[in-house]
A and B are shown apart, each in its own frame.
Chain A
Amino acid sequence: MKGWLKQAALLMVLAMLPALLGAWLHPRRPSWQSDEITVTGAQALGAKAIWVDARPSAEFEKAHVPGAISLNEDAWSELLPPLLDVWSPEKTVVVYCSSLSCHTSREVANRLKDEAGLSPVFVLQGGWEAWKQVQKGDK
Chain B
Amino acid sequence: MTRKASAFILLMVIAAVFIAAGVMKAWNPSAFAEDIRNYRLVPWSANVVLALYLPWLEMAVGGALLWRKTRGGGLLLALGMLLGFLLAILSAWWRGLNISCGCFGSGAGSAGTSSGLLWDVGRDVVLLLSVAWLLFREAKIEKRICEN
Chain A interface residues (CB < 8 Å from chain B): 1, 3-12, 14-16, 18-20, 22-23, 26, 28-32, 34, 36, 100-103, 106
- Given A15-B59, A22-B56, 18 new contacts (CB under 8 A): A4-B73, A7-B74, A8-B77, A11-B60, A11-B77, A12-B60, A14-B60, A15-B56, A23-B52, A28-B31, A29-B30, A30-B29, A31-B30, A32-B44, A32-B48, A100-B97, A101-B98, A103-B38
Number of A-B contacts (CB under 8 A): 92
- How far does the Cβ of A32 sit from chain B's closest Cβ, in whole Å? 6
**Can you list 26 contacts pairing A with B, beta carbon distance less than 8 Å?**
A3-B73, A4-B75, A5-B73, A7-B73, A8-B74, A8-B76, A8-B77, A8-B80, A10-B73, A11-B57, A11-B73, A11-B74, A12-B57, A15-B56, A15-B59, A16-B53, A16-B56, A26-B52, A28-B31, A29-B30, A30-B33, A30-B51, A31-B30, A34-B44, A100-B97, A103-B38
For B, the interface residue count at a CB cutoff of 8 angstroms equals 38
- Shortest Cβ distance from A23 into B: residue: B52
Tell me if B64 and A7 are in contact (CB < 8 A).
yes
Using known A-B contacts A19-B53, A29-B52, A32-B45, determine if residue A11 contacts B30 with beta carbons closer than 8 Å: no
**With a CB–CB cut-off of 8 A, which chain B residues contact A28?**
27-31
Q: How far is the CA of A127 from the CA of B31 in the complex (A)?
A: 21
DSSP class of B's interface residues: helix, strand, loop or mixed? helix
**With a CB–CB cut-off of 8 A, which chain A residues contact B139?**
1
Checking B26, B40, B61, B77 against A100 with a beta-carbon cut-off of 8 angstroms, the contacting residue is: B40
Checking B33, B56, B72, B97 against A19 with a beta-carbon cut-off of 8 angstroms, the contacting residue is: B56
- How far does the Cβ of B91 sit from chain A's closest Cβ, in whole Å? 13
